[in-house]
Amino acid sequence: MKLKVITSNPGKVREYQNSFTHLGIEMEHLHLPYDEIQTFQLEEVVEKGMVEIRKKGVTDFIIDDSGLFIDSLKGFPGVWSAFAQKTIGNEGILKLMKNVSDRKAEFKCCIGCDFGGETIIVTGICNGTILTTEKGKEGFGYDPIFSYDGKLSFAEISTEEKNNFSHRGNAVRLLISELKNRSLI
């Protein structure tokens, strides 16, 4: 059984493959650009994205829209996470957080899955903190500055460990239980 992961980010594909291997589901990385609307809800981006992709005739796929929401920055970068990562990067976020004591942040991942013609949309959350320096070489994006336990960054742990705690790992667990409820796997 195969699921296409439609993304430009190989890091996401690695994480999905790690989560689905035990179910015998293989991930196929598909680069297929689609329009992402600008809105305040990750779920809305995913819903619209699924419509766009289905119009192209693609079935049995996963897309995900994720964002880092930092309390002291009133939820920034949030739905602008991709833009902020490309422009100011982790260094810029750390500069904005200089001398800020409230370092709480939430990572969110909304997955849209088309499987056997059915639509499943789930959102996973990981609460954590923004570190004061970048740490680690694993992962991608904000991983070096986000910590789920206040000590280690997501870039200091393996893909498998990250999946145990992360927003994407939590979303995948919801997705798998919904696929099972619907007897799709």
Q: Which of 4, 69, 122, 143 binds ligand IMP (CB under 6 A)?
A: 143
Q: Is 80 in the site for ligand IMP (CB under 6 A)?
A: no
Kindly tell me which of 120 and 167 has the beta carbon lying closer to ligand IMP. Answer: 167
Three-state secondary-structure class, residue 38: coil
- Span interacting with ligand IMP, options 21-29, 87-95, 96-104, 141-149, rule CB under 6 A: 141-149
Kindly tell me which of 84 and 179 has the beta carbon lying closer to ligand IMP. Answer: 84
Q: Residue 46 and residue 59: Cα distance in Å, rounded?
A: 15
Kindly tell me which of 112 and 139 has the beta carbon lying closer to ligand IMP. Answer: 139
Q: Is 123 in the site for ligand IMP (CB under 6 A)?
A: no
Q: Taking the complex as a whole, how short is the minimal distance between the CB of residue 121 and ligand IMP, in angstroms? A: 14
149 included as an active-site residue: no
- Residue of 64, 65, 114, 143 marked active site: 65
Q: Which of 13, 19, 20, 65 binds ligand IMP (CB under 6 A)?
A: 65
| Beta strand extents in the chain (DSSP E only) | 2-6, 26-30, 61-70, 104-115, 118-130, 146-147
Q: Where do we find the tokens 């680069």?
A: 31
Helices 10-20 and 167-181: angle between axes, nearest 10 degrees: 50
- If you count DSSP H runs as helices and E runs as strands, how many of each does the chain have, helices first? 6, 6
Q: Which residue is nearest to ligand IMP (CB)?
A: 141
Contact 158, 98 (CB under 8 A): no
Q: Residue 44 and residue 35: Cα distance in Å, rounded?
A: 12
Q: How many residues bind ligand IMP (CB under 6 A)?
A: 16
Kindly tell me which of 30 and 82 has the beta carbon lying closer to ligand IMP. Answer: 82
Which residues have CB under 8 Å from 160's CB, separation 6+? 18
Contact 43, 63 (CB under 8 A): no
Q: Which of 17, 18, 72, 85 binds ligand IMP (CB under 6 A)?
A: 85
Which residues are the active-site residues?
65
Q: Using CB under 6 A, list all residues that contact ligand IMP.
A: 9, 64-67, 81-82, 85, 139-143, 154, 166, 168
